[in-house]
Amino acid sequence: MAQTKRVIASEKVFSLKSFFLQWEWFLLLVFILVNIMNSFISPYYLSGSGLLTATSSFLEKAFIALPMVFVLVIGDIDISVGSTVALSSVVMAECYNKLGVPMGLAIVICLLVGTLCGFINGIILTKFTELFPMIVTLGTMILYRGIAVMILEDQASKNFPSWFSNIFWGKIGSVPYMLIVFIICAVVFGVLLHKTTFGRRMFAIGSNRTASKYAGIEVQKIRLIVYTLTGLFAAVTAIFLTSRMGSTRPNIGEGYELEAISMVVLGGISTAGGKGRFVGAVIAIFIIGFLRYGLGLINTSASAMLIIIGSLLIVAVMFPNLKLGSLIGKKAKKLM
């Protein structure tokens, strides 16, 4: 059997059509639409200060969405982050107010508590791999907030030093510290996901956990890192949130996990794992954030906002599956 050696191509052919047929372009379109809508609502919106104000209205929540991208990419889920926000914030506040711990140290303790919360999630899931993330993080969600309630009961904890509010409200020039921190973190996370071996491993784990194991990837170690990271960033959110409000209660951060997941899923990260692009999540974060802000400007009731965000999530996920979405996809394939 004489066989000529087959040559396999290794250069990717750039196709204009497939380049533009990506979810992220659609998101960008929606993002632009939201901004146009907002500019009609408020004439000051499209100015630098207008946009920065809009950003500050939601950005502290966005810190949770960053590691949540990793969680979903590896095929897991974490619904305890909102409770972690509450617990880390409450511990920080009480350390300062009741135990007299210096505020700087209290902030470090906040980060440690968040990291510990995430670590506990990770340890349980990686030592008992038979357990499902949904149910474990459900348990810790109830537990962590429950501990926060045990500590603060139904009180608020306030009276932070005046410089503490600078963390959220402070700016360099007109750019908030928080935004700078966010941009840095987002870039780091994005690069980690798409340009490093760590990121490649995460995609592998999300696509096929078993095959990853056989290829020598330390699946459980990576899962542990991701969950711990999630806890840490929940604490970061807690710091910004507490700094913003100047006080804290055990019920803060309620619903944050759902909002973070919404942002990530809208961004095109599949809940099944192994798919998605980080930039999509970032655009989605701003879509949801600006949308809320704009709706808030016209005094949309909280209830209407709930309906809108909820519907947005469902439509975003359904779109590729519906006839319309796949029709566009098919037409595009024919053109290619």
Partner 1 sequence: MSVSENDAKYVLELNGITKIFPGVKALDKVHFQLRPGEIHALMGENGAGKSTFIKVITGVHKADEGEMFLDGKKVEFRGPRDAQAAGIAAIYQHVTAYPHLTVTENIFMGHEKVKFGKIMWNQMNNEANDFLKQLRADFSATVEMGALSVAQQQMVEIAKALSMNARIIIMDEPTAALTKTESEELYRITENLRDNGTSIIFISHRFEDMYRLATRVTVLRDSKNIGTYNVNEITNDDLIRAMVGREISDLFPKPEVQIGEEVLRIQNFSRTGYFKNISFAVRKGEILGLTGLVGAGRTEVCETIFGIEEKSEGKVFLYGKEVKINNPTDAMKLGIGYLPEDRQLQGLILDWGIGRNISLPVIDKMSKHGWLNDKKERDLAKRLAEQVDTKAVTIFDKASSLSGGNQQKVVVAKLLSTDLKVIILDEPTKGVDVGAKAAIYVIMGELARQGYAIIMVSSEMPETLGMCDRIIVMCEGKVTGELMRGEATQEIILDKAMAKSHHTTEKEVR
Partner 2 sequence: MEKIKSITKTLTKSREISLILVLIVLCAAIQLKNNQFLSFANLNDLLVNATIMCVLAVGMMCVLLIGGIDISIGSTLALSGMVAALVMRDYPQTPAIVSALIAIGVGLFCGFLNGVVIAKGGVIPIIATLGFMNIFRGATYLVAKSQWVHKEQITPDFQNFTLNSLFGINNMITVATLCFIIAAYFLKFTRTGRKIYAVGSNAEAAEVSGISITKIKIMVYSLMGALAGLAGALWVSKYASAQGDSGKGIEMDIIAACVIGGVSLTGGKGTMLGVVLGCLTLGILNNALPLINVSSFWQDAIKGLIIIIAIILNVMTQRSLDRNNLKRREL
User: How far is Cα 194 from Cα 196, in angstroms, rounded to an integer?
Assistant: 6
8 binding partner (options partner 2, partner 1, none; Cβ < 5 to 8 Å by kind)? partner 1
Q: Which of 258, 279, 297, 328 binds partner 2 (CB under 8 A)?
A: 258
**The residue count for the chain:** 336
Give me the residue label for tokens 């409450």: 90
User: How far is Cα 33 from Cα 21, in angstroms, rounded to an integer?
Assistant: 18
Q: What is the largest CA-CA distance in the chain?
A: 85
Smaller CB separation from partner 2, 82 or 176: 82
Token pair of 199 as six digits:
């990121």
Sketch the per residue contact string, 259 through 298, with partner 2: x for CB under 8 A, - otherwise.
Answer: --xx--x-----xx--------------------------
Smaller CB separation from partner 1, 206 or 294: 206
| Interacting residues toward partner 1 by CB under 8 A | 1, 3, 5-12, 195-198, 200-201, 204, 207-208, 210-218, 274-275
User: How far is Cα 117 from Cα 123, in angstroms, rounded to an integer?
Assistant: 10
Smaller CB separation from partner 1, 1 or 172: 1
Closest separation in Å from C-beta 227 to partner 2? 14
Give the distance, in angstroms, between the CA of residue 309 and the centroid of all CA atoms in the same chain.
15
By CB under 8 A, residue 54 contacts partner 2:
no
Token pair of 107 as six digits:
């902030």
User: How far is Cα 108 from Cα 104, in angstroms, rounded to an integer?
Assistant: 7
Closest separation in Å from C-beta 208 to partner 1? 5
Residue ranges in 57-158 assigned as alpha helix (H): 59-73, 81-97, 103-127, 133-152
Give the distance, in angstroms, between the CA of residue 208 and the centroid of all CA atoms in the same chain.
23
296 binding partner (options partner 1, partner 2, none; Cβ < 5 to 8 Å by kind)? none
242 binding partner (options partner 1, partner 2, none; Cβ < 5 to 8 Å by kind)? none
- Contacts with partner 2, residue ranges (CB under 8 A): 77, 124, 128, 130-132, 134-136, 138-147, 149-150, 153-154, 258, 261-262, 265, 271-272, 301-311, 313-314, 317-318, 321-322
